[in-house]
Amino acid sequence: MEMPQVAVCQVGECAYNRDSACHALAITVGDGTHPGCDTFFTFPAKGGDAGATGRVGACKVAGCLHNVDLECQAPGITVAALGGSADCLTYTAR
């Protein structure tokens, strides 16, 4: 199984974001009910692998249509800042 890509990350202040792209090797989405990017944090320097595109390693939002056994099955996701948090915009309620 191939992990879905973080196709777009619109959260410019994230330590893993460079030019609207996620460079964390894998992110985790959700806290059980909210589809927030658990990997998001701010830091004075940018991190991650500049040559890699972030992937979704795990999803903890059981109520998402794309979640199968805590693994995201969407072809790719978009992350954006909503209400002070970084959220998965691909989240779709069952």
Look at residue 86 and tell me whether its pLDDT is greater than 80: yes
pTM: 0.94
**Parallel, antiparallel or unpaired: strands 56-59 and 67-68:** unpaired
CB-CB neighbours of 9 under 10 Å: 27
Residue 40, pLDDT score: 97
The pLDDT tens digits of the residues spanning 17-74 come to 999 999 999 999 999 889 999 999 999 999 999 999 999 999 999 999 999 999 999 9
| Mean pLDDT within 7-21 | 97
User: In the chain, helix, strand, coil percent, each to 5?
Assistant: 0, 40, 60
Boundaries of every domain in the chain: 5-88
- Tokens 């040559």 belong to 51
Look at residue 1 and tell me whether its pLDDT is greater than 80: no
Look at residue 88 and tell me whether its pLDDT is greater than 80: yes
Residue 83, pLDDT score: 86
